[in-house]
Amino acid sequence: MRKQRQVLRLGKRALIMGILNVTPDSFSDGGKYVDLDAALKHAREMAEEGADIIDVGGESTRPGANPVPLEEEMERVLPVIEAIAREVDVPISVDTYKAPVAEAALEAGAVMVNDVSGLRFSPEMADVVARHRAWVVVMHMQGTPRDMQEAPYYKDVVEEIHEFFQERIRFAEKHGVPREKIILDPGIGFGKRLKDNLALFQGIPRFLSLGCPIMVGPSRKSFIGNILGLPIQERLEGTLAAVAIAVFQGAQVIRVHDVRPAKRAADLAWAMRRKI
């Protein structure tokens, strides 16, 4: 196992998390990187394009997705994480809500867990993160991937998610995860209506009051398609607009498929927010 790289340089610019789905059924790129060689090649490409983190996921969390058995998820992600840790000099995140997968991934070379359940679906997840002194992304999702878009509803989406984050931070800290290792993700597209997704971009400054970096994942999401009337393969410009707005509002981590153009958009928005 390669020595884990714990340092993420937050605060100097927005970090880009490149998406590496080793799944057959992800909404945008399912099936493209299930082969180990293809996955490693794409990881190298994202690193060359400027990715600060590579997020490896073995289970689709698209709306309506069914869970993947534990062993199957491990078989998908662990060889990829081990290969990236050996050959690509970029910190690795594992996109999972299962504590055993997270534990194995952290032992294989990952330094971060990206948990779409916000440490709720697997009771041991916070303990695993604390034991490995890992970073963790705590994301908000209403429901589960299978049912999250059936009838999402909020009276005030920003305040409700702010309260959710407060409770999840307390939970994580109680289990030994320091606040400085927690990143918050409001979960664009995860149990949200169009108006909720738009409100969350405006609500980023409110979430920053909690003292944790904010991550936003707008890449190719359906809200872009709904506004622009475009299919998944034509949502790059919309994604870049969302990236720029998120960073200008204060987001410090951006999760995307298209690393190079997203990094350029994020760097410009970062400079404009801080007036260079």
Per-residue pLDDT of the chain (276 residues; tens, 9 = 90+): 444 455 688 889 999 999 999 987 555 554 566 789 999 999 999 999 999 999 999 998 777 677 889 999 999 999 999 999 999 999 999 999 999 999 999 999 999 999 999 999 998 999 999 999 999 999 999 877 777 788 889 999 999 999 999 999 999 999 999 999 999 999 999 999 999 999 999 999 999 999 999 999 999 999 999 999 999 999 999 999 999 999 999 999 999 999 999 999 999 999 999 976
Q: Please enumerate, as own/partner, the contacts of 33-39 that have beta carbons within 8 Å and a separation of 24 or more.
A: 34/76, 36/79, 36/80, 36/83, 39/80, 39/83
Residue ranges of domains in the chain, CATH in brackets: 15-274 (3.20.20.20)
Which pTM does this prediction carry? 0.93
Contact (CB, 8 A) for 263 and 25:
no
What strands, in cross-sheet order, belong to the sheet with 92-95? 182-185, 135-139, 112-115, 92-95, 53-57, 15-21, 253-256, 215-216
Residues annotated as catalytic (active site), given as ranges: 221, 255
